[in-house]
Each structure stands twice: as C-alpha cells, then as structure tokens.
Amino acid sequence: MAPGMGGSLYEVLRVEPTAMISEIKTVYRSFAKVYHHDLSGNGWDYTEIHNAYETLSDPKARAVYDMSLKKKFGHHGGNHPVHNIQNGRVEISAQNHNYAVDPATLPKGVEVTHINLNDGTCAGLAYPALNVMSLQYHLEASPGPDDSDCVFRDFVELMKSVKYRA
C-alpha cells in the first residue's frame, strides 16, 4: 500500500510538519524508488508522492499548503452561496476544490473578503499592501450568473490604480 493513501501531504510522505527539506528529499527518493510507475506499475502512487514532494520541498508552496484545511468532501458543483463581505451581497458560485484557507493562519494585513455560506469557510482574500486579491470559486463570466461581475471590476480598478501609481 502507498504511503499516506490520500491523507495530508505530510502523511503521504510519512514526515512530520516540522520536517526539514533535506529530510523530505531523502524520504521522497526512497519512496520514488519503490513506487515509481516504471518500476511498480502503479503510476497513481508515484504521482501522489511526487506531488507531495513538489509542494513540501518548495518553502513558498509549503507555507501556502500549511495555511489550508483539507475538507472532508470539498466544494463541488454549482449554486454555492458566497457572502461578499466588502459589499454585503450574496453571490451564487460554481466550485470545485477540496481545500480551504484557515483564517487563523493568515499573515497580518490579509483580509477575508468572501465567506462560503454553506459551511462558513473562507472563499476570498485580499492583501491590500501587496495589491493582491484571490477567490476560491469560479467566476462565471458568461454565460451564467453575473453575481460576481463586481469582482472583475474591482480587479480592473486595482490594476489601473497600480499602473497609475507606478
């Protein structure tokens, strides 16, 4: 059986969240020899191991991963209500993901801008100091609901303001 079998990336590689990158590389190399699809015939196990290694061996990717929560069932399909905290409106969204950002782990200055009303998880972030905004759902530009059109306008205005300040 493959390491972890679908758990967190740390479980896939059987390392602690405090593991150093050198330890992660050593574990990856040993698992890659056993589970590589050319040697074992099971490419799925190798892909899972390789994806875990790619994320956990990159300090920036690992920091983002560590801020996220794996959802038991995730958010999939259409008609998910999302509360836009910035304008008070509820937007209908389409979603397809298994993770959510834990607001308790966000750096100072990062703001939660959208909340999934089905389970209260974070669905949008902004970091004004770096001119960054992010949403964790599909913005239906067209055809479909136009509830989130304001997000496109906000993004264009953000780009314009940064351009004119430069």
Q: Which sequence spans correspond to the domains of the chain?
A: 9-65, 73-165
Per-residue pLDDT band at 117 (split at 50, 70, 90):
very high
The CATH number of 73-165 is: 3.40.50.880
The answer on pLDDT for 106 being more than 70 is yes
For residue 22, the SS3 value is helix
Cα gap 89→85, rounded to integer Å = 7
Bridge-based pairing of strands 122-127 and 111-116 is antiparallel
Contact 46, 40 (CB under 8 A): yes
How is domain 9-65 classified at the architecture level of CATH? Orthogonal Bundle (1.10)
Instruction: State what percent of residues in the chain have pLDDT above 90.
Output: 10
**pTM exceeds cut of 0.75:** no
23 Cβ partners below 8 Å, 6+ apart? 15
Strand ranges, E, within 85-121? 90-101, 111-116
The better pLDDT of the pair 26, 34 is held by 26
